[in-house]
Amino acid sequence: MKKYIFVTGGVCSSLGKGVAAASMGCLLEARGLNVRMIKIDPYINVDAGTMSPYQHGEVYVTNDGAETDLDLGNYARFTSSPLSRVNSITTGQIYQEVIQREREGRFLGRTVQVIPHITDRIKQRIRAIGDDENVDVTIVEVGGTVGDIESVPFIEAARQMIHELGHSSVISVHLTLVPEVAGGELKTKPTQHSVKELLEIGIQPDILLCRASTPLDEDLRRKIALFTNVEYEAVISAYDVAGTIYEIPFIYHEQGLDELALRKLQIPVPEARLEDWRRVVDVAKNAKRTVRIAMVGKYIDLNDSYKSIDEALFHGSIACESKIELVKLDSEKLEKNGNLAEALANIDGIIIPGGFGSRGVQGMINVAEHARNNGIPFLGICLGMQVMVIEYARNVLGYDEANSTEFAPECEHPVVSLLEEQIDIKNYGGTMRLGLSDSITMAGSLLRTAYGTERISERHRHRYEVSNKYRAPMEKAGLRIAGVTPDGALVESVEWPKHPWGLGVQFHPEFGSKPVAAHPLFRNFIAASLTYMTARSEGS
């Protein structure tokens, strides 16, 4: 019998269900199980592709080009679970699929209703993954909070699966809040009400993860167990960590969460092997060197906007046995009133991530020029690479009006532009170059050095490309083309000449980085930044 774990949340959103679900997956994999992860988002959007980073954080792209919730990034970093568009389920997808089947006459004239038709489709999507012969446990995270009207069909589908398959095959893990009030007292009442909401739907939680600022003492755990009808050992203290989120699996493991879940699912497994994860935490806590990296972007106000890049930089620092201090700078503010020399003083490396729209781009161009002229290690990703090309065209080739047609459609020198077949596209949903595709690295380039191989595969998410019309003048002026598509038609990477480490890539390497296996580009970027830090320190 296949096994399922449903992870739900209560009281309020943003308590960390994604990290909790991913941590459980990590622990089960450490015990030798094959795990699959599914994220359910109750919003009506079909996917996250057109959502603002300010609303929803970053868009995580899978190998097959699905634009998904950032929690799939957590799954990718914490587990080895393969991820594709089938691992992301939204209300929009479910209703779209059911309505399409109704239009095709699949329901033989019957009235189509939420129960059973919508809930049946939800269960079909979940079991299509979980019933695979290679899968031992499927962890399903239900977004939003219990009580939200949008979440009701998904919670009902979970209830039905528990009823149909039994408590030894499906368990409920409920994440809830134990807030701290004036005087430092932790209050259990919100957790009690959250569990009551879940019970009203028909689900008795098997395990509670209680989010709090500090560890729960025995008395609080016993009180919660008493009022929620959950056994004491199943009330897990999910307290704030002072260091890295990669400590969370250890916090759960020390309280027996993985052993408890497997006992309830009647799965006998060997001891967990967490040596690689322990090294990550040890380096994060005890490394002697700290590198200062400036991230210059346009969505700085929301921490989750560049989540995968934040984590990939951390992974790179772990690989280099150092700590990282990430300084986030708003490119728009730098453009309007920023003193670059002052803002970038004591910075060891600069990264410019992806983005859309013209706001703040001039600030990025100014930063790229500063990094190129001052030999500061630089990594440009997607828009960041395009900024490198625009800056080089303006300040080395002398094309003062060089720009991207995304920002200035009528500019004199469109060094970045749409492909011809894209020019008339008006529908922005799913129209980009998305998902995994190959690139060829040039011998002797920083790109080839990082990967150690000629052919690489990385995920893309963009519409605009470096214009081939300007490729030859750029190369003649010294800009190195470090990577191209296999047919040579499109530029995938550029490098600054006579610079210690200045590299831009059109793809998104951050999606392939893990704490136990840092992506080579981020590892080498951090290594170059540490070298620059040492030289700068000795010079001063």
Q: Active-site residue numbers?
A: 382, 508, 510
Report yes or no: 173 and 209 within 8 Å, Cβ to Cβ: yes
Give the whole-angstrom CA distance, residue 513 versus residue 523. Answer: 10
CA-CA distance, 335 to 292, in Å (whole number)? 21
d(Cα 67, Cα 3) in Å, to the nearest integer?
27
**Cβ–Cβ < 8 Å for 295, 353:** yes
Pseudo-torsion of CA 144, 146, 152, 154, nearest 10°? 60
Sign of CA dihedral 45, 510, 366, 395: negative
The DSSP bridge pattern shows strands 413-418 and 290-297 to be unpaired
Please report which helix (H) or strand (E) contains residue 88, including its range. Answer: strand 88-90
Residue 435: count of CB within 10 angstroms of its CB: 18
Instruction: Write the CB contacts of 185 (distance below 8 Å, at least 6 apart in sequence).
Output: none
The alpha-carbon radius of gyration of the chain (Å, integer) is: 25
Q: Which one, of 364, 335, 358, lies nearest residue 404 by Cα?
A: 358
Q: Using alpha carbons only, give the angle 436, 301, 184 rounded to the nearest 5 degrees.
A: 115
CB 246 within 8 A of CB 27: no
Q: Sign of torsion, CA 451 454 457 463? A: positive
Residue whose C-alpha is closest to residue 86's, from 70, 103, 66, 101: 66
* Residues 191 and 177 sit within 8 Å (Cβ to Cβ): yes
**Cβ neighbours of 213 (radius 10 Å):** 11
- What's the DSSP call for residue 228? H
Strand partners, 139: 5, 37
DSSP symbol at 205:
-
Amino acid making up residue 521: L
Q: What is the DSSP letter of 175?
A: E
H/E element, 309: helix 307-319
Rounded Cα distance, 123 and 133, in Å: 17
Pairing of strands 433-441, 235-239: unpaired
> In terms of Cα–Cα distance, which of 207, 33, 27 is closest to 130?
33
Output the six-digit token pair for 455: 């052919």
Rounded Cα–Cα distance for residues 94 and 120 (Å)? 10
Burial readout 458-479 (b: 16 or more C-beta within 10 A, e: otherwise): bbbbbbbbbbeebbeebeeeeb
